[in-house]
Amino acid sequence: MSAAPLITLRGVTKTYGQGATALQALKGVDLDIEAGDFVAIMGPSGSGKSTAMNTLGCLDTPTTGEYIFHGVHVETLNRDQRALLRRRYLGFVFQGFNLLARTSAQENVELPLLYRGEPAKKRHAAAKKALASVGLAGWEHHTPAELSGGQQQRVAIARAIVTEPAVLLADEPTGNLDTQRSHEIMDLLWKLNVDHGITVLMVTHESDMAAYARRIVRFVDGVVASDARNEHPVALAAALAVAAAH
């Protein structure tokens, strides 16, 4: 008997406004996400992908339908319970790096642990470990102004994973980066997925970024239009090529 999916959406709708001005952003979404998957969510503007991402991240609630996370019916939770679920299980990475400008990389990464009330010694050690895992050992005391765009996004990813979340939600994580830095960030997300078992959900407009995912879900007009496995993710293909060369 196979284990239940980590995340299940069943008949999820989301309507903004009322009456003649009501906008139905989601129109009955069914989606299963297994623990350890890497899913790219794509679709044109207004397709519902961002609304779906906000729902999955417990930043918004369905109008109707079920959202089950690790066996818990999220749609029945109150605001405080959803906030607790976010803090304990979810990490977020955005297109804008959202770093505090006058604060060091170390201090930026420690923020989620500060909100949790973790003691200073534990915060410092966890932040240092998270920064090392994204290739920024030795950069702990640099401020965002002293870092490149790619490095700032690495700090943002370290901040997202410092709490050891089950799921990393990335909304256009390469949107502000050039091509080389974009591929570096995607390689990093791939490694976090493979080496740490973090489930990655990523919204992207870019097909070459989606090519890193194990699965590509396309939204159109508020519903899932297609859901396909990607048998040859870019990072996997590159790793196999390197292994074959040796």
DSSP state of 68: E
What gap in Å lies between CA 88 and CA 83, rounded to an integer? Answer: 9
Residues 175-203 pLDDT 10s: 888 999 999 999 999 999 999 999 999 99
Instruction: Print the SS3 string covering 1-37.
Output: CCCCCCEEEEEEEEEECCHHHCEEEEEEEEEEECCCC
Per-residue pLDDT band at 13 (split at 50, 70, 90): very high
Residue among 156, 148, 149 at smallest CA distance from 130: 156
Percent of the chain surpassing pLDDT 70: 95
The pLDDT assigned to 20 comes to: 87
What gap in Å lies between CA 171 and CA 63, rounded to an integer? Answer: 22
Q: What is the pTM of this model?
A: 0.91
Domains of the chain: 7-245 (3.40.50.300)
pLDDT at 97 > cutoff 90: no
What gap in Å lies between CA 3 and CA 26, rounded to an integer? Answer: 27
Work out the mean pLDDT of the chain and round it to a whole number: 92
Looking at the chain, how many residues does it have?
246
Per-residue pLDDT band at 2 (split at 50, 70, 90): low
Residues 18-53 pLDDT 10s: 888 899 999 999 999 999 999 999 999 999 999 999
Residue type, 158: A
